[in-house]
Amino acid sequence: MSWEIVREDSKPCACGMGLLSRILKADDWNRYEETVSLMCSECNKNYVKYTIDYPSSGMLETAIHWVKREEYEVFCRLETEFKEIEGKTKNEINEYLYSNYYQSWMALFNDVPRNKKAVWNKLCHLNLIYFSYTKFCKDIGTKSLDDHIKSYVSYTHKDKLLKILGIRDENIGIIHAKSKTARIQYEEAKHTMMRNSLQ
């Protein structure tokens, strides 16, 4: 298996004193590999390489962009802040759900025998799972059924959980608003960075 050059081109860089060179290679499995080089000493002071992995035809491809250094630094700072805030928000919501709705949730399973088939049937009835009983058994593995039932009292399932319990809780939205604001700032920084990138 070998890689062959499919396309090779270059264009002037941002300052016009050098080139942005692009080489696209492909192999026998229809995988692609792209190399983008910024051949300009001036632009190399102001731009940094930024890569994005994305799915394409069932495989992972990588796109390469050259982005402005100062915009990349802002993006990295806001991304880090967002991830920290999001992590804290998820933990806070998990704790809130557990302290307020755990008993109500577990009460739905009081009459459900603790065997995989009965729990699977109940979860299907609640529209929480749509996959086969066989897959459910594999996913459970050695985890206890009670632990699996408890796992739905979590950030991941918060919307379905509250809907099933027939509860509208504005406190969840208030807690979640913290990470929403950080996400908007992070996404705006990424959009600005990508809009001004060399590609």
pLDDT tens profile 70-91: 999 999 999 999 999 999 999 9
**The predicted structure's pLDDT at residue 1:** 58
Q: What is the mean pLDDT of residues 36-42?
A: 92
Question: Is a pLDDT exceeding 70 seen at residue 102?
Answer: yes
* Predicted model pTM: 0.73
Whole-number Å distance between alpha carbons of 67 and 51: 10
For residues 182 and 81, is the Cβ–Cβ distance under 8 A? yes
């700032």: which residue's tokens?
A: 185
Question: Could you give the residue ranges of the DSSP H alpha helices within the chain?
Answer: 41-46, 69-107, 116-125, 133-140, 145-150, 158-165, 170-195
